[in-house]
Amino acid sequence: MSDSEQSPNERAWSGETFLADVTRWVEDAAASAGVALTGEREQPHLRSWSSAIRFGAEGGDLWFKVNGHGTRHEAALLGVLAQLEPGLVPDVLAVDRGRAWTLMRDAGPVLRSVAGPEGQWEIWPAVLGRYAEAQLRLADQPEAVLGSGVVLATPEVLPGRLRALVEELDALATDQGGITPEERTRLGGLFPEYDDWCAELSAAGVPSSLQHDDLHSGNVCWGGSRDGARIIDWGDASWGFPLATMLVTLSSLAWSAGCEDDDPRVLRVRDSYLEHFTSYAARSELLRYTDRARRTGCVTRALSWRAALEGQPVDAHRDYDFPVRAWLLELLEA
């Protein structure tokens, strides 16, 4: 990709000055942790919203990550999770909240690189069990989690967020990511039903908690066991209805396996996750709440993309087929 095709963040994060500053910071942080670097450096991930750089180190690689403005909470959140749920995320060596920088130990290969779709069906219940248990413990730590800057996206606030997004996109031309008058009318007609879905979730009795919102096989590091699994890439995370996780997780499982969301294998994974919430509601209710959460979650996905591309030119939005609009219009297909 040429410089002219890169977003402002991509140009900045691949520049010599930035890489030199990062290398000095990583060297100091690694030395403080008693880790010696080998001198290897590779930047395999460079996007408008974040970049990751691998540093070779004795005893195992280290990973540096920088987040853009809209996802800068990830650095602080990883620091919080390293304290509250250390087995959920990679080992965190250093965090610079001001610059949204994080340094972590390598947590092993991502799940999709070690197991194909057919090999993942038995792994996902273990991953989701660990994740659900953490969600339920974190439900008692709202101040710590929200203090990282994570977005509040509970059922109580989502109706207002939906209306604000519709107004925002209605004011844009379609070639700038906006919606058509007909789409505006259809989305507006959905407001009462969306409000009802959110009201039902608000009254469900399931506690609000941290919700990853992009939990798929590319964001799970799998070392071969439940206790060794680590979840990465928390830039889309929000504080809201925990079962909304199932929007991306189930859809990605089905897509990878070439099946529908109601395939028995997908449903077994779903049910293994919901089992951890049966003290709050009966299974039949949890199934209905999951359906509602996956529908209302279209708005959190739109908000996540809006945050990820915050401050970036329209070309960056166009490169991803205007994902804010795309997720908002998913509501009309639900």
Residues 57 and 43 in one domain: yes
pLDDT in tens, 258-273: 999 999 999 999 999 9
How many Å apart are CA 100 and CA 65, to the nearest integer?
Answer: 8
CA distance 303 to 328: 9
Give me 198's structure tokens.
């959110």
Q: Looking at the structure, do residues 153 and 207 belong to the same domain, yes or no?
A: yes
Nearest to 38 by CA among 46, 21, 20, 26: 26
Residue 159: CA count within 13 A, CB half-sphere: 16
CB-side exposure of 206: number of CA atoms within 13 Å? 34
44 and 175 both lie in a single domain: no
Q: Specify the pTM.
A: 0.95
Q: 12 and 36 share a domain?
A: yes
Average pLDDT, the chain: 96
Residue 3's pLDDT band (cuts 50, 70, 90) = low
| pLDDT band at residue 149 using 50, 70 and 90 as cut-offs | very high
Residue 204 structural domain = 111-330
Residue 96: give its domain's CATH number: 3.30.200
9 and 148 inside one domain: no
Considering the chain, what percentage of its residues have pLDDT values greater than 90? 96
Decide if 88 contacts 50 (C-beta within 8 A): no
Domain count, the chain: 2
